[in-house]
Every structure is written in C-alpha cells, then in structure tokens.
C-alpha cells in the first residue's frame, strides 16, 4: 500500500520586527512550494532560509497543510516526524 500523502507548504516573507511573526507585506510573500511529506518540505525550507541568511527579517515556515485539510485524521497520519 502506498504511503499516505501528507501535504506540506513552504512559505516565507519579511517580518515587521525580529522575534515576532507578523509579515511586513503579504503581497511580497514567497511561496516556495508544496511537498508530499515533511522531509521534502524541510529540505526546501532549509534551502530557502539559507539563501536569505543575510536578511535578519526574512523567515520561512513549513505549514502542515494536511492538518488543515483533515484535522481529525492529522494525528493518525503524522508518521513523518
């Protein structure tokens, strides 16, 4: 049986202030991509974050979209980390 797809999104953007999660400009958000598992999403996150290391205001996030799509089944299918 194929492993269940666990959709993850990777996004980033500049924060208003360092240490807070409030995006400066939502129109300038960087959508890195959608990934079928946490491992691939984390690799994409790491690559994007490393490219912006000189900008202290820039942050990237992995969003567990499968938890938003199926919140009741999220715990049962979260085998990837």
**Per-residue pLDDT reduced to its tens digit, 55-76:** 999 999 999 998 888 777 655 4
Report how far residue 8's alpha carbon sits from residue 59's, in angstroms, rounded to the nearest whole number: 17
Q: For position 61, what pLDDT does the model report?
A: 97
Q: Indicate the pLDDT class of residue 52, thresholds 50, 70 and 90.
A: very high
Contact 8, 66 (CB under 8 A): yes
pLDDT digits (tens, 9 = 90+) for 27-45: 999 999 999 999 999 999 9
Residue range of the domain that includes 34: 8-69
Q: How many domains does the chain have?
A: 1
Answer whether residue 32 is part of any domain. yes
Asked whether residue 79 is domain-assigned, the answer is: no
What CATH number does residue 59 fall under?
A: 3.30.70.2400
pTM exceeding 0.85: no
Confirm whether 3 is domain-assigned: no
Asked whether the beta carbons of 81 and 38 are under 8 A apart, the reply is yes
Please report whether residue 21 resides in a domain.
yes
């Amino acid at each position: 049986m194929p492993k269940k797809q666990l959709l993850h999104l990777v996004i980033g953007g500049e924060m208003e202030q360092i240490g807070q999660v409030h995006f400066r400009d939502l129109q300038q958000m960087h959508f890195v991509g959608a990934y079928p598992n946490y491992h691939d999403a984390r690799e994409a996150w790491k690559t994007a974050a490393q490219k912006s290391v000189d900008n202290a205001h820039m942050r990237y996030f992995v969003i567990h979209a499968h938890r938003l799509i199926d919140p009741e089944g999220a715990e049962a299918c979260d085998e990837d980390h």
